Amino acid sequence: MTEEKIKEYSLRISQCTRTELVVITDEIIIDYVKDAKASFAEGNKEQFWFALNKARQFVNELASALDMRFEISKQLINLYSYVRSCLFRADIRFSDEELDEVISIITRLKDSFVEVAKSDHSGSVMEHSQKVYAGLTYGKGSKLNEIVM
């Protein structure tokens, strides 16, 4: 994942609700799995394993945050367990065969949480974060400058 993408995710996390945090985490997992697929295509084992490990860490984070008092959490833990096993098999076998299925599952979960997030008005997960405003201005020579406040 690029430095720019990490900064973008960091900014979004500082402004999101709990449900939006799940959406962002799903997007991060998808990005790392896509990175693993690209690394596999290049034959870069180190980057492949790194990306899979990062994806697995974020899946573990989602699984550990579940409140098992709710029935939906029991269903989600099963999905996360399956995704972890797919990532584990890909890691052990140095194979990208199951990675498209992982992307498909996480994408469907993300899409569901996007819908749930529309009705989540719980406020930002980071309590004392500042509101971020961004814009573009023209500099010397018609150069665009990004301003974040």
Q: For 70-96, how does the pLDDT look when each residue is reduced to its tens digit (9 = 90+)?
A: 999 999 999 999 999 999 999 999 999
- What topology is assigned to 3-148 in CATH? Four Helix Bundle (Hemerythrin (Met), subunit A) (1.20.120)
Q: Give this prediction's pTM.
A: 0.81
The 10s digit of each residue's pLDDT in 11-43 is: 888 888 889 999 999 999 999 999 999 999 999
Rounded to whole angstroms, how far apart are CA atoms 128 and 123?
A: 11
Judge whether 66 and 47 are in contact, CB under 8 Å: no
- What SS3 class is residue 145? strand
Burial bucket for residue 110 (CB in 10 Å: 0-12, 13-18, 19+)? middle
User: What percentage of the chain has pLDDT greater than the value 70?
Assistant: 81
